[in-house]
Structure 1
Amino acid sequence: MMKRNHLSHRSVLSLTGKERLTFLQGLITNDVLSLKNGEICWAALLNAQGRIQSLFFVFGTPDALFLDLPDDHAETVMKQLKRFRLRADVTIELTSLTVLSGSCKDPQPSHALCCARDPRHPHLGWRALADHSSESDDKGEGDAVFQRRRLALGIPEMADLGAPGQTLALEANLDALNGVSWEKGCYLGQEVTARMHYRAHAKRRLLPVILPDDASFSCGDDIFSHDQHIGTLRSTCGPYGLAMVHRDAWNNNNLHIKERTIQLVWPEWLPTTLRPEKG
């Protein structure tokens, strides 16, 4: 019996009805019309200015779409979707489903309603939805295990973005982590997202950093290069962190927080062509 793969900070919304696919297709960054049964995609709901309101996974099943999203976003996202529904044949509900996660080596749960590989990176393992969970007594261990795994890879989630409406899709690397479809039709915030993509110019991005083992940092700590403020620490887990770093510092080896040196890591999944040449 697995004990450490229950993600207690997640909720699941269901979308049912004949028009569920076309309804969601017109709102989010990824292509749900091409989502086959049993598959999963990662996507964002943006505002009209192209800034992220919520990040979530979409599971495709024969009778419904399921949104795996942060607990504290579930009610807000449900209200937002209902506001856009108008007369569409779509029913949106909060479910009691549990979100599970496992590494590539963990066996997938046999009792899962649906299970698929995390689409952002192959080393993140799988995600699953289940009606009930024997992992619910893991006291948060599943959350901590997954947090360490994703931060070691430099993979962002909504918790790294601050308040909703602050971060652009490309600043959160959705373009490099299969979070945006460039072939689909219009969606909320598409114009800003497409313009940034085709100009290949994001002024800042969430990037992984390695932190000193003996230092204590907090989310929101400022990052400096010499005396110039160039970013902010967004998440930490052990020696791993994610920071929002300005483009001018992407090749900088002299970064520090509270006078302690940190190491900026350019992740293997982020194309080096996006990195400015050293001056």
Structure 2
Amino acid sequence: MAAAVLLRGATPGRGGPAWRWRLSGTPRRRLAQGSGFPCGDPAGGAIWTCFRLDERALVRVRGPDAAPFLLGLLTNELPLPGPADGVAPPPVRAGYAHFLNVQGRTLYDVIVYGLQERAEEAAGFLLECDSSVLGALQKHLTLYKIRRKVAVEAHPELRVWAVLPSGPEAGGAAPLQEKAEAAAVLTRDPRTACMGWRLLTQQEGPALVPAGRLGHSGDYHQLRYQQGVPEGVRDLPPGVALPLESNLAFMNGVSFTKGCYIGQELTARTHHMGVIRKRLFPVRLSGPLPAGGISPGTPVLTESGQAAGKFRAGQGDVGLALLQSEKIKGPLHLRTSESDHVALTVSVPDWWPKATK
């Protein structure tokens, strides 16, 4: 039976200590294209697969005013680092949130990491975002910085990895531990337990998991789509997506009790009215797919030809579609040409609140 053990070792090159995994006792197995992972606590899995996410980037926000500054822009409370024990650095905390425009539509989805390098310093933050909007997010932050004592800068030293269990073979394996080091941050994905862990590290390639396995990013995205987890500008088009229709509340990404933030009015009003007629649902496609895939915004139709929503984004035969909740149970399809149709099957993720199922 395999064992997943978290070890501390020397980082090749600069940066000091880092955290890595050693897996023993089970031969490597190829991760099947499109295979899913069990929902629940990732600590129950024996084999950890690491996916390097080159399409994700990091922005560092630090300074005495960093916390109040971000609170006025993000939909959620900040994940402040835990208390230090005097020996090890305080554990990292992560949270999920969106930046909104003044109309209440999503601009950027981010995972926020709360860090504290030294006990006497105020907490700083790393914002994980889609790499294609790295410059735009920096400009957005600078625009609202005004006279606050805040520094905003890209942080290319660390790369973003997703760490996911690929099998339940060793339920007794030691769980991963949240750590924040000079060269590595390891913490649970704050959106849902199904998405495992997030790792930020300077390490490269096989040195990350010397006896483990590296996964293909395509498998990671297929898992995301199967679980209905949007990420990045393809899934959440800036200025188009509405946060509650994008299931922000399901992913622990919004606080309805925090202070004001840009775009709060529409979000709060929609929440308190309790009427969300459309949502992003995970979908599976069946039938001959066009060579270039399904175009974003392609209408989703009912059997009688009525509009049910629009296809948002996907990979292979899985994706996300913004659909009217009342129409997801009947047969749905996409029209790819005058004569060709692609059937579309909608699912409701297990991790969503029961009231939505």
TM, length-normalised to structure 2: 0.70
Q: Are the counterparts in 2 of residues 148 and 237 from structure 1 also a CA contact under 8 Å?
A: yes
Mapped pair 1:243 → 2:321: yes
1:6–1:135 Cα contact (<8 Å) kept? no
The answer (yes or no) to whether the contact 2:79–2:114 under 8 Å persists in 1 is: no
In structure 1, the residue corresponding to 2:76 is in which secondary structure? coil
1:75-133 CA deviation, whole Å, 9 max, x = no partner?
00111101101111110001112101110359869985211111111121111111242
Match of 2:284 among 210, 222, 239: 210
Q: Measure how far apart 1:224 and its partner are.
A: 0.4
In 2, distance between residues paired with 1:197 and 1:237?
31
The aligned counterpart of 1:86 is 146
Over 3 Å counting, the alpha-carbon distance change for 1:4 and 1:116 in structure 2 is: closer
Q: How many residues align?
A: 272
Displacement, 1:153? 0.7
1:95-174 to 2 correspondence within 5 Å?
95-96=155-156, 97-104=158-165, 113-134=184-205, 142-161=216-235, 163-174=237-248
Pair 254,54 (structure 1): closer, same or farther in 2 beyond 3 Å: same
Preserved CA contact (<8 Å) 1:4 1:145: no
Letter in 2 for 1:84: Y
Q: Which amino acid aligns with 1:267?
A: P
Select the residue among 97, 113, 126 that pairs with 1:43.
97
250, 256, 259: which is aligned to 2:333? 256
Distance 1:135 1:43, change over 3 A: farther
Bigger shift: residues 127-136 or 185-194:
127-136
Which stretches in structure 1 are left out of the alignment for 5+ residues? none
Name 1:61's counterpart in structure 2: 115
Q: 2:317 is aligned with what amino acid?
A: P
Superimposed CA distance per residue, residues 193-212 of structure 1 (whole angstroms, 9 cap, x where no aligned partner): 01111111123211011211
Q: Which residue of 1 aligns with 2:57?
A: 11
Task: Give identity over the alignment, percent.
Answer: 29
Letter in 2 for 1:187: Y
Aligned mates of 1:175, 1:230 — CA distance in 2: 23
Q: CA deviation at 1:213?
A: 6.2
User: What is the correspondence of 1:214-225 to structure 2 with a 5 Å cutoff?
Assistant: 214-216=288-290, 217-220=293-296, 221-225=298-302
TM-score after normalising by structure 1? 0.88
Correspondence for 2:78 = 32
- Kept in 2: contact 1:9–1:143 (CA 8 A): no
CA distance, structure 1, for counterparts of residue 318 and residue 301 of structure 2: 18
Match for 2:73: what amino acid?
L
- Deviation for aligned residue 1:248: 3.8
Select the structure of larger CA radius of gyration: 2
Deviations along 1:134-191, one digit per CA (max 9) or x if unpaired, are 269xxx9642121011111111113344531111110110011101012211111111
Greater fraction of residues in helix: 1
RMSD, matched Cα:
2.7
Aligned position for 2:31? none
